[in-house]
Protein backbone atom coordinates (compact mmCIF):
# COMPACT_ATOMS: atom_id res chain seq x y z
CA UNK A 1 0.00 0.00 0.00
CA UNK A 2 1.26 3.46 -0.87
CA UNK A 3 1.83 5.15 2.50
CA UNK A 4 1.50 8.59 0.88
CA UNK A 5 -2.05 7.73 -0.21
CA UNK A 6 -3.22 7.09 3.33
CA UNK A 7 -5.34 9.91 4.76
CA UNK A 8 -4.22 11.73 7.88
CA UNK A 9 -7.15 12.54 10.17
CA UNK A 10 -7.63 14.20 13.52
CA UNK A 11 -8.12 12.05 16.59
CA UNK A 12 -11.66 13.40 16.98
CA UNK A 13 -12.63 12.64 13.37
CA UNK A 14 -11.38 9.06 13.57
CA UNK A 15 -13.12 8.52 16.91
CA UNK A 16 -16.38 9.91 15.53
CA UNK A 17 -16.18 7.59 12.51
CA UNK A 18 -15.59 4.60 14.76
CA UNK A 19 -18.40 5.51 17.13
CA UNK A 20 -20.77 5.60 14.15
CA UNK A 21 -19.99 1.88 13.72
CA UNK A 22 -20.56 1.12 17.40
CA UNK A 23 -24.32 1.01 17.85
CA UNK A 24 -25.73 0.16 21.31
CA UNK A 25 -26.60 -3.52 21.45
CA UNK A 26 -30.23 -4.56 21.71
CA UNK A 27 -31.36 -5.12 25.33
CA UNK A 28 -31.91 -8.65 26.61
CA UNK A 29 -33.41 -10.16 29.73
CA UNK A 30 -30.15 -11.40 31.23
CA UNK A 31 -29.77 -13.84 34.15
CA UNK A 32 -28.49 -11.97 37.19
CA UNK A 33 -24.89 -13.17 37.05
CA UNK A 34 -24.68 -12.49 33.31
CA UNK A 35 -26.12 -9.01 33.87
CA UNK A 36 -23.32 -8.07 36.28
CA UNK A 37 -21.23 -5.30 34.70
CA UNK A 38 -23.70 -4.73 31.87
CA UNK A 39 -25.83 -1.60 31.53
CA UNK A 40 -29.40 -1.56 32.83
CA UNK A 41 -31.65 -0.94 29.84
CA UNK A 42 -34.89 -0.05 31.67
CA UNK A 43 -35.93 1.37 35.01
CA UNK A 44 -36.95 -1.29 37.55
CA UNK A 45 -39.88 -0.54 39.84
CA UNK A 46 -41.21 -1.95 43.09
CA UNK A 47 -44.81 -0.85 42.82
CA UNK A 48 -44.62 2.89 42.10
CA UNK A 49 -41.12 3.21 43.51
CA UNK A 50 -38.16 3.16 41.12
CA UNK A 51 -35.45 1.00 42.68
CA UNK A 52 -33.00 0.71 39.77
CA UNK A 53 -32.31 3.36 37.12
CA UNK A 54 -31.67 2.70 33.44
CA UNK A 55 -28.26 3.63 32.11
CA UNK A 56 -26.31 2.55 35.18
CA UNK A 57 -23.68 -0.17 35.19
CA UNK A 58 -25.09 -3.14 37.08
CA UNK A 59 -23.00 -3.66 40.23
CA UNK A 60 -23.04 -6.38 42.86
CA UNK A 61 -25.37 -4.30 45.04
CA UNK A 62 -27.86 -4.06 42.17
CA UNK A 63 -27.71 -7.83 41.73
CA UNK A 64 -28.36 -8.31 45.43
CA UNK A 65 -31.29 -5.89 45.37
CA UNK A 66 -32.83 -7.58 42.34
CA UNK A 67 -32.51 -11.00 43.97
CA UNK A 68 -34.10 -9.70 47.18
CA UNK A 69 -37.09 -8.59 45.11
CA UNK A 70 -37.46 -12.06 43.64
CA UNK A 71 -36.07 -11.14 40.22
CA UNK A 72 -33.80 -13.63 38.51
CA UNK A 73 -33.23 -11.53 35.37
CA UNK A 74 -32.64 -7.88 34.53
CA UNK A 75 -33.19 -5.94 31.28
CA UNK A 76 -29.66 -5.09 30.20
CA UNK A 77 -27.53 -4.35 27.19
CA UNK A 78 -25.25 -7.41 26.96
CA UNK A 79 -21.49 -7.32 27.03
CA UNK A 80 -20.24 -6.78 23.46
CA UNK A 81 -18.45 -9.81 22.02
CA UNK A 82 -15.05 -8.66 20.79
CA UNK A 83 -12.74 -10.95 18.82
CA UNK A 84 -9.02 -10.14 18.95
CA UNK A 85 -6.75 -11.40 16.15
CA UNK A 86 -3.03 -10.86 15.57
CA UNK A 87 -1.59 -11.80 12.17
CA UNK A 88 1.90 -11.93 10.68
CA UNK A 89 4.47 -14.50 9.62
CA UNK A 90 7.10 -13.18 12.06
CA UNK A 91 4.89 -13.46 15.14
CA UNK A 92 5.60 -16.23 17.64
CA UNK A 93 3.31 -17.39 20.44
CA UNK A 94 4.81 -16.75 23.91
CA UNK A 95 6.30 -19.96 25.31
CA UNK A 96 7.82 -20.94 21.97
CA UNK A 97 11.31 -20.17 20.67
CA UNK A 98 12.15 -17.29 18.35
CA UNK A 99 13.71 -18.73 15.18
CA UNK A 100 15.58 -15.66 13.87
CA UNK A 101 16.10 -11.93 14.42
CA UNK A 102 12.96 -11.05 12.47
CA UNK A 103 10.71 -13.02 14.82
CA UNK A 104 8.94 -11.34 17.73
CA UNK A 105 6.72 -12.62 20.50
CA UNK A 106 3.06 -11.89 19.87
CA UNK A 107 1.92 -9.68 22.75
CA UNK A 108 -0.83 -7.49 21.28
CA UNK A 109 -3.63 -10.06 21.39
CA UNK A 110 -2.93 -10.79 25.06
CA UNK A 111 -2.91 -7.11 25.96
CA UNK A 112 -5.91 -6.17 23.81
CA UNK A 113 -8.03 -9.11 24.97
CA UNK A 114 -7.63 -8.12 28.60
CA UNK A 115 -8.02 -4.41 27.80
CA UNK A 116 -11.41 -4.94 26.16
CA UNK A 117 -12.47 -7.10 29.10
CA UNK A 118 -11.64 -4.18 31.38
CA UNK A 119 -13.86 -2.01 29.16
CA UNK A 120 -16.82 -4.33 29.72
CA UNK A 121 -16.65 -6.67 26.73
CA UNK A 122 -16.68 -10.43 26.44
CA UNK A 123 -13.35 -11.00 24.72
CA UNK A 124 -12.26 -13.88 22.52
CA UNK A 125 -8.56 -14.19 21.77
CA UNK A 126 -7.84 -16.16 18.61
CA UNK A 127 -5.05 -18.61 19.43
CA UNK A 128 -3.87 -19.11 15.83
CA UNK A 129 -1.56 -16.55 14.23
CA UNK A 130 -2.50 -16.34 10.52
CA UNK A 131 0.58 -15.89 8.34
CA UNK A 132 -1.01 -15.13 4.95
CA UNK A 133 -4.21 -13.87 3.36
CA UNK A 134 -5.79 -17.29 2.93
CA UNK A 135 -5.27 -18.24 6.57
CA UNK A 136 -6.47 -14.87 7.83
CA UNK A 137 -9.64 -14.90 5.73
CA UNK A 138 -10.51 -18.37 7.06
CA UNK A 139 -9.97 -17.26 10.65
CA UNK A 140 -12.08 -14.11 10.26
CA UNK A 141 -14.91 -15.96 8.55
CA UNK A 142 -14.93 -18.51 11.38
CA UNK A 143 -15.03 -15.76 14.02
CA UNK A 144 -17.75 -13.55 12.53
CA UNK A 145 -20.50 -15.77 13.94
CA UNK A 146 -19.63 -14.73 17.51
CA UNK A 147 -18.44 -11.15 17.05
CA UNK A 148 -20.01 -7.75 17.64
CA UNK A 149 -16.60 -6.20 16.92
CA UNK A 150 -13.36 -7.58 15.46
CA UNK A 151 -10.00 -5.98 16.29
CA UNK A 152 -6.81 -6.93 14.47
CA UNK A 153 -3.15 -6.05 14.79
CA UNK A 154 0.00 -7.19 13.06
CA UNK A 155 3.75 -7.10 13.41
CA UNK A 156 5.68 -4.32 15.11
CA UNK A 157 6.80 -2.72 11.85
CA UNK A 158 3.37 -3.09 10.21
CA UNK A 159 4.78 -5.63 7.75
CA UNK A 160 1.51 -7.56 7.92
CA UNK A 161 -0.75 -4.51 7.55
CA UNK A 162 -1.15 -4.78 3.79
CA UNK A 163 -2.30 -8.38 3.74
CA UNK A 164 -4.70 -7.67 6.62
CA UNK A 165 -6.10 -4.75 4.60
CA UNK A 166 -6.48 -6.92 1.48
CA UNK A 167 -8.43 -9.56 3.40
CA UNK A 168 -10.75 -7.03 5.04
CA UNK A 169 -11.47 -5.40 1.68
CA UNK A 170 -12.35 -8.81 0.24
CA UNK A 171 -14.87 -9.34 3.07
CA UNK A 172 -16.46 -5.88 2.90
CA UNK A 173 -19.20 -4.67 0.54
CA UNK A 174 -17.94 -1.11 0.73
CA UNK A 175 -14.27 -1.67 1.53
CA UNK A 176 -12.42 -0.49 4.61
CA UNK A 177 -10.93 2.95 5.20
CA UNK A 178 -7.24 3.32 6.00
CA UNK A 179 -6.16 6.36 8.00
CA UNK A 180 -3.39 7.64 10.25
CA UNK A 181 -4.58 9.70 13.22
CA UNK A 182 -2.57 12.83 13.98
CA UNK A 183 -1.20 11.52 17.25
CA UNK A 184 2.27 10.64 18.44
CA UNK A 185 3.82 7.18 18.11
CA UNK A 186 1.03 5.73 16.01
CA UNK A 187 0.55 4.06 12.63
CA UNK A 188 -2.03 3.05 10.07
CA UNK A 189 -5.54 2.08 11.13
CA UNK A 190 -8.28 0.32 9.15
CA UNK A 191 -11.96 0.53 9.93
CA UNK A 192 -15.24 -0.46 8.33
CA UNK A 193 -17.70 -3.34 8.32
CA UNK A 194 -17.33 -6.89 7.00
CA UNK A 195 -19.53 -9.86 6.23
CA UNK A 196 -23.26 -10.07 5.55
CA UNK A 197 -24.05 -8.80 9.05
CA UNK A 198 -21.76 -5.77 8.58
CA UNK A 199 -19.68 -6.45 11.68
CA UNK A 200 -17.50 -3.48 12.71
CA UNK A 201 -13.79 -4.15 12.28
CA UNK A 202 -10.74 -2.09 13.28
CA UNK A 203 -7.06 -2.70 12.55
CA UNK A 204 -4.61 -1.22 15.06
CA UNK A 205 -0.89 -0.58 14.55
CA UNK A 206 1.37 -3.56 15.19
CA UNK A 207 3.70 -1.74 17.58
CA UNK A 208 2.42 -2.69 21.07
CA UNK A 209 2.53 0.78 22.64
CA UNK A 210 0.71 2.29 19.66
CA UNK A 211 -1.81 -0.55 19.74
CA UNK A 212 -2.52 0.04 23.43
CA UNK A 213 -2.90 3.82 23.09
CA UNK A 214 -5.25 3.33 20.14
CA UNK A 215 -7.24 0.77 22.12
CA UNK A 216 -7.69 3.32 24.90
CA UNK A 217 -8.56 6.22 22.60
CA UNK A 218 -10.69 4.39 20.03
CA UNK A 219 -11.66 0.81 20.95
CA UNK A 220 -12.69 1.38 24.55
CA UNK A 221 -15.21 4.13 23.61
CA UNK A 222 -16.65 1.83 20.93
CA UNK A 223 -17.22 -0.89 23.53
CA UNK A 224 -18.68 1.54 26.06
CA UNK A 225 -21.05 2.83 23.36
CA UNK A 226 -22.14 -0.71 22.49
CA UNK A 227 -22.82 -1.46 26.14
CA UNK A 228 -24.93 1.69 26.44
CA UNK A 229 -22.71 3.55 28.90
CA UNK A 230 -23.75 7.15 29.49
CA UNK A 231 -20.24 8.50 28.83
CA UNK A 232 -18.05 6.21 26.73
CA UNK A 233 -14.86 8.18 27.43
CA UNK A 234 -12.36 7.73 30.24
CA UNK A 235 -12.54 10.17 33.13
CA UNK A 236 -10.21 13.16 32.82
CA UNK A 237 -8.69 15.30 35.55
CA UNK A 238 -6.60 18.44 35.74
CA UNK A 239 -3.06 18.14 37.07
CA UNK A 240 0.10 20.19 37.16
CA UNK A 241 3.27 19.08 35.41
CA UNK A 242 6.20 18.11 37.60
CA UNK A 243 8.71 18.76 34.80
CA UNK A 244 8.76 20.72 31.54
CA UNK A 245 8.09 18.84 28.31
CA UNK A 246 8.10 19.32 24.56
CA UNK A 247 5.55 18.00 22.08
CA UNK A 248 5.69 17.88 18.24
CA UNK A 249 3.68 20.54 16.42
CA UNK A 250 0.55 19.32 14.68
CA UNK A 251 0.43 16.08 16.68
CA UNK A 252 -1.77 15.05 19.60
CA UNK A 253 0.48 13.56 22.27
CA UNK A 254 -0.58 10.97 24.83
CA UNK A 255 2.22 10.63 27.35
CA UNK A 256 2.22 7.93 30.01
CA UNK A 257 2.46 9.44 33.45
CA UNK A 258 2.45 8.73 37.16
CA UNK A 259 0.23 10.73 39.49
CA UNK A 260 0.74 11.97 43.03
CA UNK A 261 -0.93 14.35 45.43
CA UNK A 262 -4.55 14.79 46.44
CA UNK A 263 -7.75 14.90 44.44
CA UNK A 264 -7.78 18.69 44.64
CA UNK A 265 -4.08 19.10 43.79
CA UNK A 266 -2.73 16.37 41.55
CA UNK A 267 0.76 16.37 40.04
CA UNK A 268 1.61 14.43 36.87
CA UNK A 269 5.10 13.21 36.03
CA UNK A 270 5.96 11.92 32.56
CA UNK A 271 7.43 8.44 32.85
CA UNK A 272 10.93 7.96 31.49
CA UNK A 273 11.52 5.68 28.49
CA UNK A 274 8.24 6.38 26.68
CA UNK A 275 9.42 4.05 23.91
CA UNK A 276 9.58 1.07 26.29
CA UNK A 277 6.63 -1.27 26.76
CA UNK A 278 7.12 -1.61 30.51
CA UNK A 279 6.02 1.99 31.05
CA UNK A 280 2.48 0.91 30.11
CA UNK A 281 2.35 -1.19 33.26
CA UNK A 282 3.45 1.75 35.43
CA UNK A 283 1.22 4.42 33.87
CA UNK A 284 -1.67 5.76 35.96
CA UNK A 285 -2.79 8.20 33.30
CA UNK A 286 -2.15 9.67 29.86
CA UNK A 287 -1.17 13.34 29.69
CA UNK A 288 -2.97 14.78 26.65
CA UNK A 289 -1.20 17.56 24.75
CA UNK A 290 -3.08 19.25 21.90
CA UNK A 291 -1.68 19.73 18.41
CA UNK A 292 -1.14 23.47 18.93
CA UNK A 293 1.10 23.13 22.00
CA UNK A 294 4.81 22.45 21.55
CA UNK A 295 6.14 23.26 25.02
CA UNK A 296 4.85 23.16 28.58
CA UNK A 297 6.73 24.36 31.66
CA UNK A 298 6.88 22.74 35.05
CA UNK A 299 3.76 23.70 36.99
CA UNK A 300 1.58 24.16 33.91
CA UNK A 301 -1.90 22.65 34.01
CA UNK A 302 -2.57 19.62 31.82
CA UNK A 303 -5.46 17.27 31.11
CA UNK A 304 -4.87 13.66 32.18
CA UNK A 305 -6.92 10.67 31.09
CA UNK A 306 -7.10 8.27 34.02
CA UNK A 307 -6.21 4.63 33.44
CA UNK A 308 -6.94 1.55 35.53
CA UNK A 309 -5.07 1.76 38.83
CA UNK A 310 -2.42 -0.87 39.49
CA UNK A 311 -2.68 -0.34 43.24
CA UNK A 312 -4.92 -2.30 45.60
* Averages of pLDDT over each 10 residues, the chain, 312 residues: 70 96 94 92 93 92 96 94 94 89 89 94 93 95 97 87 95 95 93 96 94 96 91 91 94 95 91 88 94 95 86 50
What backbone phi and psi angles, to 5 degrees, belong to 244? -65, 155
Specify whether 14 is located in the same domain as 143: yes
Specify whether 151 is located in the same domain as 217: yes
**Residue 312 located in a structural domain:** no
pLDDT at 5: 63
Specify whether 124 is located in the same domain as 144: yes
CB neighbours (10 Å) of residue 171? 22
**Residue 311 located in a structural domain:** no
pLDDT at 309: 62
**Residue 131 located in a structural domain:** yes
Contact between 286 and 216 under an 8 Å Cβ cutoff? The reply is: yes
pLDDT at 4: 44
**Residue 231 located in a structural domain:** no
Specify whether 188 is located in the same domain as 213: yes
pLDDT at 7: 86
User: Which structural domain range is residue 158 located in?
Assistant: 3-22+79-226
pLDDT at 308: 75
Specify whether 274 is located in the same domain as 296: yes
pLDDT at 310: 56
The answer, as to whether pTM is greater than 0.85, is yes
Count of structural domains, the chain: 3
pLDDT at 288: 96
**Residue 219 located in a structural domain:** yes
pLDDT at 63: 97
Specify whether 85 is located in the same domain as 62: no
pLDDT at 277: 86
pLDDT at 230: 75
Amino acid sequence: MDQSAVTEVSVEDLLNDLLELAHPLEPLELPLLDAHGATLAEDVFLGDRKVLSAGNAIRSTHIGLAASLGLNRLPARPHPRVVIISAGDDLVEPGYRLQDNDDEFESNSWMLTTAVREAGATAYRVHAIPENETELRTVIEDQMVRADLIVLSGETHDESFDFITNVLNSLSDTGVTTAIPKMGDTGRHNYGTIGPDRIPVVTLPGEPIAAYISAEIFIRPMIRTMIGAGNPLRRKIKATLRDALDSPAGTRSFLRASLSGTASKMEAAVLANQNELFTLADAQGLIMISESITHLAAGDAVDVMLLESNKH
